[in-house]
A and B are shown apart, each in its own frame.
Chain A
């Protein structure tokens, strides 16, 4: 006899009232059927606002379904024994001012584990998360990756049979992302089942099963390999020339036959609507990946239009002698700690420059110094030829900035936020209206304009933030983790816009944790432990990986980070 399922959902539906009177209801989930056996792992993927978080909250007993049956461990979810469920909300639910130990012990006791009685489990949690040296550090002073690990540990401290993890790997670097997945498996008890939502299909690929949620419906339910199979026969690749790579990508993306296209090392990959390659020479069939299947299943049938966001940008001539952004030995110290040391680079108009590095390495510090949000301890920076130390206001006028954390007004509507930003950059009257219309249409925000910005799903917030940053068509664009928490298709659209904006002669400085995205950059700077450890084109960085032909940028990233670690321990 088969084991009793841990989760059984039958025809579950949930809808939410419109946020304003008269606004239509939002159907968050509809006709959801799902069975999860003990010991299995389930990846929940899908576009933003697809219903992933709602489903998780229903499983955690925090949202009541309107219809259908929800059984957790054989009982209706209304009688849920909460000590058997470890739920990690998207926010992490950590108390930032409390220490690592205080957070972990609080959740341990709340979840029925007395830390004093179970020293082995506590030791194991500290060791597995790598938090042992930081037990007395305030949670909000941890790096992003460490914070996620702590939140995960707090959720599953008692090794519950059911682990519900909502976006545990959002906003963390590739190294930490691997570690978080391993950590979840290590912390799980024997027979624990894991439900894991993610916008990163790589993560979902590690699960036993994958569910693809779209507009409240299950589009796919099966093994992750099956997701890739959905695109079998529809994926092709062709070599890319060393120059004007992005122009080739743009051209492919705008073809009606192509659903999605990405750059991968020296080649261009495309997912096509039909089983024949796009026109042009050199296309060869390749093995599909989960993301390709995702793209095919969510295909809306429309070709990607040329970026309307970029079209509004004035064409700015490249001036090879005049950098749009220059960092000269930028250094920032906090007491004895140096957050960024001697960072030097230049970005020219029309160039996309990527800052890479693990969480807490000094990327954001560098970024914030160049945005004029943080004064350097030494060194200097210029933006659009304006000195940040003496002409900060003029420099700011010339830049669009998309911060890592959502920094618009949560209690204002999307439209009110855009109006505010337009006004702040001196756009008034028709100019403001046109700019807002353009952004709303280009980023598909029209169905959200009346909603409160703070209540939007993560990915929609990111779209709004990008829109706000480009309203005034600045010559310099700063994007700090623009695609964090955004689903794969929208990520490609984001990059479609970014690439097109750069093609108009705008300089773009971007940080990202997605190495496939970093392929879009002309040049990269890898920062680790407050220092620049490598720089150059994506291909330059990949040369660090020895003994593998056509390595991925992610492999290069991990190799370079680990090489620095080794170098330092040998020197010590």
Chain B
């Protein structure tokens, strides 16, 4: 190691030590790194739920046969639904419009007769297409209820002959069909995106605002070394926040953790490289803490929430928006996180996503080193 490398290493260490000291002295960092993940995880884990437990379901029995009454009773006893009966579809449609009903099941006229003849007729389920996820969950539960009902009738030796062809759905990885299992890994992604970009959005802008940047730039430290030294402490903090989120997910919400820690750390690191770099670039570009924070929220948090597939299916977005999702880092994180929790180590998914995220990180790092000029005025 030459003397130059030696002193370069010292300079990098000095910056890291300074960042740690500033983190330690700044109570807001603690809030950002520890409290915010907790609050967001509690919010996302409880308030945001796509579960259909107790969903208000309208039921129209047009048949009034013994079989149809029995089916209505089965639905009434199913915990997924809270049944409201109506005389005709038209009576209940308003409920669907104003949101008081999640769906309406229509048992057609002649349902009982057809059953006796051994030619079962379909039960119609009208759902709210504006709530795609809920509609999907509702359909699944409805199907399950019908199957249970058919099975029960068969066991009683009734005439409900098994249908010729039936789709058997098995909810792999999420047998309870709990939306929380899908949402919590997504929420972790959102929390990481937010914390990652906010953590670094402030740190360069702060140096410019206080005039300390002029002091740093006048020293021999190179800009890549300065940027990297500033990133490392925040990377460690970001991993800490991720750890808190994972603990809440597993112990608070009872999610399984079927993957390995090493996979989680790799995925999280790649993602943090991308979002920390993004925050740093914003910070170096705006040189103003206030503008920087606004921008970090706008470009980090919102796209992650809306365009990552966390809440809204990417497949059901318009094509142009779908393309846009490819530049949202969270899009590459959330599927991997969901796998790590619910499935296990699926390197076939992880590796391409990690590669893309590292690419983001490298791009931002390069841009930051270019954006910070050794120029003050």
Contacts and interface: CB of A to CB of B under 8 A. Distances in A.
| Pairing of A with B | yes
Interface of A: 16, 54, 57, 60-64, 81-83, 85, 87, 89-98, 102, 105-107, 109-112, 114, 154-155
Interface string B215-254: 1111111000000000000000000000000000000000
Nearest to B226: A110
Interface residues of B, number: 28
Given A62-B376, A91-B210, A114-B10, A107 B215 contact: yes
Interface of B: 7, 10-11, 13-15, 17-18, 21-22, 25-26, 210-221, 374-377
B219 to A, nearest CB: 4
B11 A109 contact: yes
Contacts of A102: 18, 21
B214 A62 contact: yes
Nearest to A95: B212
A81 to B, nearest CB: 7
Instruction: For the complex of A and B, list the 9 residue pairs with the smallest distance between their C-beta atoms, beginning with the closest.
Output: A93-B215, A91-B211, A109-B14, A87-B218, A110-B219, A82-B220, A89-B214, A62-B376, A83-B220
Nearest to A63: B377
Contact of B13 (A94, A109, A112, A154): A109
Contacts, number: 91
Nearest to B13: A109
A446 B55 CA distance: 69
Contacts of A90: 211
Contacts of A91: 210-212, 214-215
B211 A63 contact: no
A112 B220 contact: yes
A137 to B, nearest CB: 13
Contact of B26 (A63, A94, A97, A105): A97
B13 A62 contact: no
User: Which applies to chain A's interface (DSSP): helix, strand, loop or mixed?
Assistant: loop
A97 B22 contact: yes
Nearest to A154: B215
Which of B7, B10, B219, B375 has the most A CB atoms < 10 Å from its CB?
B219
Contacts of A96: 210
A57 B14 contact: no
B212 A94 contact: yes
Contacts of A107: 215, 219
Contacts of A82: 218-220
B5 to A, nearest CB: 12
A90 to B, nearest CB: 8
A24 B21 CA distance: 44
Given A62-B376, A63-B375, A106-B14, A111 B220 contact: yes
B377 A60 contact: no
Given A62-B376, A82-B218, A106-B18, 14 more contacts: A85-B218, A90-B211, A91-B215, A93-B214, A94-B215, A97-B26, A98-B22, A105-B14, A107-B215, A109-B10, A110-B11, A110-B219, A112-B220, A154-B215
A110 B214 contact: no
Contact of B21 (A98, A109, A114): A98
A62 B220 contact: no
A32 to B, nearest CB: 16
B22 A89 contact: no
Nearest to A99: B21
Contacts of B26: 97
A54 B22 contact: no
Contact of A110 (B21, B216, B375, B377): B216
A95 B22 contact: yes
A63 B376 contact: yes
Contacts of A62: 214, 217-218, 374-377
